[in-house]
Amino acid sequence: MTNWQHFVATFFNAAVMAKYLPDIIDGFCLTVGLAILVVISGIAAGLLLAVLRAFGVRPLNWLLIFVVDLFRALPPLVVIVLLYFGLPSLGFEPSAFGTTWASLSLVLMAFAEEIFWAGITAVPKGQWEAARSTGLSFLQTLGAVVLPQAIRLTVPPLTNRTIAITKGTALGSVIGLSEILSQASSGVSFSFNPSPLTLGAAAYLILFLPVVIAGRWIETRFAWKR
């Protein structure tokens, strides 16, 4: 066997791949579902926190900044492990899926809040003044004038951060969540062949390449008309 044949038989073993493809597909579907949930809840919670912060209530903002900094500082894996093994001692037994979803949502929420907040503060003060001078309330100004501009500014950093955190779904494998990586590794263990990992990598590419491309498209789409 030449080196090349050996390489193909190891990483692209058709028989092994065919055997474990259904498992990888299961993992893929679970990862997609989890990723969508994380993106929705994480970004929505982050936006909500940024809006709350805009009200400028001091004690509330201190609490908010503390929570945000906490989840920005903790590695996502630590959050997952802490929740999964810590919550049962409080009499609450979360599923692996629920834990991974909640943990990644909290982390995405924290980063999204910072990004949205940066966007809100980047909108010139004159925009607030112009809107308020025509009689719009604080919330109307925020909703109709400031947030649409802030969100456009935040699309590029938010897209990057969202992709980075959504890839953290692979961390769920640590607590036995049968997502792509976990399915691939158990395939490797049973077959003594790394081809399932190749399949897993392909599954991640299929999942995230469109997201990356969509992010690029959104960036150009959201540029001001000139």
Partner 1 sequence: MSNPILEAPILAAPILEARGLHKHFGPLHVLRGVDLAVAERELVFIIGPSGSGKSTFLRCLNRLEEPTAGSVVIDGIDLLDRRTDINHARQRIGMVFQSFNLYPHMTALGNVTLALRKVARRRRSEADEIGRAALARVGLADRAGHYPGQLSGGQQQRVAIARAIALEPRVMLFDEPTSALDPELVGSVLAVMRALRESGMTMVVVSHEMGFARAAADRVLFMDEGLVVEAGPPAQIFGAPQEARTRAFIGQIQRHSS
Which residues sit at the interface with partner 1, rule CB under 8 A?
124, 126-127, 129-137, 140, 144-145, 148-149, 152, 224-226
For partner 1, give the closer residue by CB, 59 or 126: 126
**Structural contact between residues 76 and 173, judged by C-beta atoms closer than 8 angstroms:** no
Least distance in angstroms from the C-beta of 80 to partner 1: 38
What are the C-alpha distances in Å from 116 to residues 48, 145, 190, 195?
A: 10, 14, 45, 41
Annotate 27-59 with b (16+ C-beta within 10 A) or e (fewer).
bbebbbebbebbbebbbebbbebbbebbeeeee
For 220, the token pair is: 């150009």
Least distance in angstroms from the C-beta of 152 to partner 1: 7
Count CA within 13 A, CB hemisphere, residue 211: 19
For partner 1, give the closer residue by CB, 11 or 138: 138
Q: What are phi and psi of 214, to 5 degrees?
A: -60, -40
For partner 1, give the closer residue by CB, 127 or 191: 127
Residue 137 burial by Cβ neighbours in a 10 Å radius (0-12, 13-18, 19+):
exposed
- Return the closest-CA partner of residue 129 out of 117, 140, 114, 141: 141
Least distance in angstroms from the C-beta of 211 to partner 1: 25
For partner 1, give the closer residue by CB, 95 or 137: 137
Least distance in angstroms from the C-beta of 131 to partner 1: 7
Least distance in angstroms from the C-beta of 47 to partner 1: 17
For partner 1, give the closer residue by CB, 75 or 124: 124
Least distance in angstroms from the C-beta of 225 to partner 1: 5
For partner 1, give the closer residue by CB, 22 or 148: 148
Who contacts 17 (Cβ-Cβ below 8 Å, separation ≥6)? 195, 196, 198, 199
What are the C-alpha distances in Å from 148 to residues 10, 120, 143, 154?
A: 51, 9, 7, 10
